[in-house]
């Protein structure tokens, strides 16, 4: 294929065909086929429909209100980088009236997170948004590298997921924001639906497709990319020439999610609409009333004050398991066991969680963030 013509070879002599026009504007040359719809469109029309669909997701889901302070979960990867770009563009274009921040979590993965955080710091300069970095080491006293040394590669993602979720809430609380947005895309959500089906986790299956989650003691979270295909996010980043980190986490190849991902890709190859079809199927699941009554009431962790359905939250239980040298015991059903004996001397614990910092403390933290692009807490 040349720059101007596409040559199709068949039984007849070579036939020179003119370039296919964009199916939307009918003037510019089509340069890509949308994975989501199969439409062959030009670059500018792709940007327009992608951004418009994200905007419609935000409006239909009533994700924000004017004056909201929103933290964008920033990892430096394609999803969070495109999310940061789109949030800034759409906030300006449609006058959402949001105050945006970048919030990054440093899990302590040598050769991966340290490199990706350099990308986040460049994004901070490119988008002119305040950046805050919170590390596992300073919050929990452990890095993922150290955790993997104890746990091995089979269950390390369980620890990271629990620690990361709480770290995001704590970082957002210290920023004094109202809302966290994450780059979870349609593929991620469809994979989660499949995982919950395979594990028979009915409770999570009933809520994993929700675009917004919030409880009394946690900060509101939402997924503006709920219906955005991963392939289209990659195309958007490519054609916009966005600066992002493309290396996968060195500990993720052994994750259970990988099995669901492979299955989903096979389904997508046969039927591109399979991704959004699975999401809509997940949305149709709802717990029966009798099942809802069996769910444990939410309370606060007796040790750190974070939301929990047990006396100790997952993060405190897992941290205690690490401190005792019994990490595998910590990931079992917390309702069926308790650690024996007193806590080890000098065992590390998680600082008390404060959902609503005082206005003065919140303002002080934000002022410090505005002074520098890299703050570790």
73 assigned ligand-binding residue: yes
183 assigned ligand-binding residue: yes
105 assigned ligand-binding residue: yes
Q: What is the rounded distance in angstroms from the CA atom of residue 274 to the CA atom of residue 146?
A: 39
| Residues whose CB is less than 8 angstroms from the CB of residue 245 and which lie 6 or more positions away in sequence, other chains included | 75, 76, 77, 115, 116, 119
Q: What is the rounded distance in angstroms from the CA atom of residue 45 to the CA atom of residue 27?
A: 11
246 assigned ligand-binding residue: no
Q: How far is CA 207 from CA 25, 54, 72, 214, 284, in A?
A: 39, 21, 22, 11, 10
Please work out, in degrees rounded to the nearest 5, the angle formed at the alpha carbon of residue 214 by the alpha carbons of 211 and 220: 80
128 assigned ligand-binding residue: no
Q: What is the rounded distance in angstroms from the CA atom of residue 313 to the CA atom of residue 87?
A: 32
243 assigned ligand-binding residue: no
| Residues whose CB is less than 8 angstroms from the CB of residue 316 and which lie 6 or more positions away in sequence, other chains included | 301, 303, 304, 306, 349, 350
> Are residues 318 and 151 in contact, defined by beta-carbon separation less than 8 angstroms?
no
Q: What is the rounded distance in angstroms from the CA atom of residue 99 to the CA atom of residue 300?
A: 29
| Rg, Å, the chain Cα set | 23
Would you list which residues are annotated within the binding site? 73-75, 79, 105, 183, 188
Would you list which residues are annotated within the binding site for ATP? 73-75, 79, 105, 183, 188
């Amino acid at each position: 294929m040349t720059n101007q013509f596409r040559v199709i070879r068949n039984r007849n002599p070579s036939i020179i065909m003119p370039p296919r026009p964009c199916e939307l504007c009918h003037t510019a040359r089509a340069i890509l086929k949308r994975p989501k719809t199969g439409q062959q469109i030009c670059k500018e029309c792709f940007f327009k429909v992608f951004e418009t669909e994200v905007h419609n997701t935000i409006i239909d889901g009533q994700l924000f209100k004017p004056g909201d302070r929103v933290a964008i979960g920033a990892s430096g990867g394609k999803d969070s980088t495109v999310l940061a770009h789109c949030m800034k563009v759409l906030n300006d274009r449609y006058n959402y009236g949001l105050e945006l921040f970048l919030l990054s979590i440093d899990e302590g993965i040598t050769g991966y997170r340290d490199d990706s955080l350099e990308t986040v710091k460049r994004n901070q300069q490119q988008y002119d948004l305040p950046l805050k970095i919170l590390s596992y080491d300073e919050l929990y006293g452990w890095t993922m590298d150290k955790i993997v040394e104890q746990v091995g590669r089979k269950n390390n993602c369980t620890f990271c997921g629990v620690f990361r979720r709480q770290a995001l809430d704590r970082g957002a609380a210290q920023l004094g924001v109202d809302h966290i947005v994450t780059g979870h895309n349609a593929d991620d959500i469809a994979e989660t639906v499949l995982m919950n089906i395979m594990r028979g986790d009915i409770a999570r299956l009933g809520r994993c497709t929700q675009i917004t989650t919030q409880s009394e003691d946690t900060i509101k979270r939402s997924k503006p990319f709920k219906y955005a295909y991963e392939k289209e996010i990659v195309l958007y980043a490519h054609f916009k020439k966005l600066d992002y980190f493309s290396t996968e986490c060195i500990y993720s190849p052994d994750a259970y999610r990988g099995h669901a991902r492979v299955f989903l890709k096979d389904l997508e190859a046969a039927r591109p609409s399979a991704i959004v079809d699975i999401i809509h199927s997940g949305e149709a699941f709802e717990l029966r009333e009798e099942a809802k009554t069996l769910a444990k009431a939410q309370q606060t962790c007796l040790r750190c004050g974070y939301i929990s359905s047990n006396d100790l939250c997952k993060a405190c239980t897992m941290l205690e398991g690490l401190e005792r040298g019994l990490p595998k015991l910590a990931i079992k059903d917390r309702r069926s066991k308790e650690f024996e004996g007193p806590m080890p001397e000098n065992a590390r614990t998680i600082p008390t969680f404060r959902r609503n910092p005082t206005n003065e403390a919140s303002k002080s933290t934000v002022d410090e963030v505005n002074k520098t692009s890299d703050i570790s807490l």
